[in-house]
């Protein structure tokens, strides 16, 4: 016969088990936390980069986390806008576009290097251009490729600097031919092969590809380094606390700022992530409007 104390212990244990089960059931009703990133490099590098982030965030936040790839910069903005993803690694310009379409969305973290990012202008060795501190006006009349049409470092800011150097002229009036490679790694390949004489791209991708042995310094070289501007950042939708619980946005921010593992940071070409706010990207918004690329 079971005593009163024993029955009480059994009931308490049963109550605890039911409460834990109820909490798990509630957690299981929440959708996985899904994020994406602009496809600024080759796909294998993106899978390596974001797969590690997904694992880290899932372990840190205690919530199922999934990374979904997208095919283009506009597709990343669309996925964020329609709620397919709750978080995205955007460039400066795509972040402005996404937040403009989603009132309440916040830029919550950027790479330490993103506060003062820069563009490299690169040239094929046969183009006859050499490195200089001043904007290389010798690029006029050459064939030129940007990256993605919505890239900050591969299109928006390069076009801004080009228009400053050649007042009153569009890139199509300055160059013999203008192209859009789609991503920074592809820009390197096109200039290195001679398909285009000159190109503009994210300096961090050029440095990463150089370390990976994908850049032949005898065939392509940096001819100009731009002034600094704010670029990449993590942007989160404004409704995630309502979905994942009060304080989730701040927990997510803390998780991103807490990344110290070089295996996660190295594929980004970043030393760490630091806090940031929407206001940091007002210069990008102004340039977008002045170039006619942002309404």
For position 189, which CATH number holds? 3.40.190.10
Residue 158 and residue 257 in one domain:
no
pTM score, two decimals? 0.85
CA 42/CA 282 separation, integer angstroms? 29
The long-range contacts involving 25-31, CB below 8 angstroms and separated by at least 24 positions, are: 27/63, 30/63, 30/243, 30/244, 31/243
Contacts of 139 (CB under 8 A, 6+ apart): 121, 123, 129, 174, 175, 197, 198, 223
Residue 127 and residue 210 in one domain:
yes
If pLDDT is split at 50, 70 and 90, which confidence band does 64 have? very high
Average pLDDT over residues 90-114: 97
Number of domains into which the chain is organized: 2
Structure confidence at residue 41 (pLDDT)? 81
**Short-list 213, 221, 224, CA closest to 158:** 224
Residue 153 and residue 92 in one domain:
no
Residue 82 and residue 153 in one domain:
no
Residue 111 and residue 234 in one domain:
yes
Structure confidence at residue 42 (pLDDT)? 80
Contacts of 70 (CB under 8 A, 6+ apart): 36, 38, 39, 76, 79
Pairing of strands 198-202, 143-146: parallel
Residue 66 and residue 155 in one domain:
no
The verdict on residue 98 lying in a domain is yes
Residue for token pair 């950027």: 110
Q: Kindly report the average pLDDT of the chain as a whole number.
A: 91
**Short-list 150, 171, 175, CA closest to 161:** 171
Q: At what angle do helices 282-290 and 92-101 cross, to 10 degrees?
A: 90
**Short-list 282, 291, 161, CA closest to 230:** 282
Does 92 have pLDDT greater than 80?
A: yes
For the stretch 40-52, pLDDT in tens is: 888 888 998 999 9
For the stretch 236-277, pLDDT in tens is: 999 999 999 999 999 999 999 999 999 999 999 999 999 999
Structure confidence at residue 202 (pLDDT)? 96
The verdict on residue 295 lying in a domain is no
Does 14 have pLDDT greater than 80?
A: no
Q: At what angle do helices 282-290 and 157-165 cross, to 10 degrees?
A: 60
* End position of a domain, from candidates 179, 208, 225: 225
Does 148 have pLDDT greater than 50?
A: yes
Residue 129 and residue 200 in one domain:
yes
Residue 98 and residue 46 in one domain:
yes
Residue 111 and residue 238 in one domain:
yes
* End position of a domain, from candidates 225, 242, 269: 225
Residue 85 and residue 74 in one domain:
yes
The verdict on residue 8 lying in a domain is no
Q: Name the DSSP class of 117.
A: B
The verdict on residue 23 lying in a domain is no
Residue range of the domain that includes 70: 31-115+230-290
Residue 111 and residue 164 in one domain:
no
CB-based burial label for 272 (10 Å; 0-12, 13-18, 19+): middle
Beta-bridge partners for 66: 34
Does 181 have pLDDT greater than 90?
A: yes
The verdict on residue 1 lying in a domain is no
């Amino acid at each position: 016969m079971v005593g009163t104390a024993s029955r009480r212990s059994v009931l308490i244990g049963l109550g605890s088990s039911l409460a834990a089960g109820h909490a798990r059931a509630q957690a299981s009703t929440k959708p996985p936390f899904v994020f994406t990133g602009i496809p600024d490099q080759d796909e294998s590098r993106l899978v390596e980069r974001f797969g590690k982030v997904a694992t880290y965030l899932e372990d840190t936040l205690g919530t199922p986390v999934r990374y979904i790839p997208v095919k283009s910069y506009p597709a990343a903005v669309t996925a964020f806008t329609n709620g397919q993803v709750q978080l995205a690694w955007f460039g400066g310009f795509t972040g402005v576009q996404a937040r403009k379409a989603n009132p309440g969305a916040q830029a919550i973290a950027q790479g330490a290097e993103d506060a003062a990012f820069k563009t490299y202008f690169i040239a094929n060795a046969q183009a006859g251009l050499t490195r200089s501190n001043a904007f290389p006006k010798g690029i006029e009349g050459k064939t030129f490729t940007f990256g993605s049409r919505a890239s900050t470092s591969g299109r928006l800011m390069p076009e801004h600097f080009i228009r400053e150097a050649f007042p009153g002229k569009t890139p199509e009036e300055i160059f013999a031919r203008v192209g859009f490679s789609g991503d920074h790694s592809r820009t390197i390949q096109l200039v290195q092969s001679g398909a285009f004489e000159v190109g503009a791209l994210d300096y961090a991708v050029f440095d990463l590809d150089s370390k990976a042995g994908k850049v032949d310094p005898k065939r392509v070289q940096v001819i100009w380094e731009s002034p600094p501007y704010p670029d990449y950042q993590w942007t989160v939708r404004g409704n995630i606390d309502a979905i994942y619980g009060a304080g989730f946005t701040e927990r997510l921010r803390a998780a991103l700022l807490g990344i110290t593992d070089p295996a996660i940071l190295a594929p980004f070409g970043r030393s760490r992530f630091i806090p940031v706010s929407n206001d940091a990207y007002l210069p990008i918004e102004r340039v977008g409007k002045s170039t006619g690329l942002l309404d």
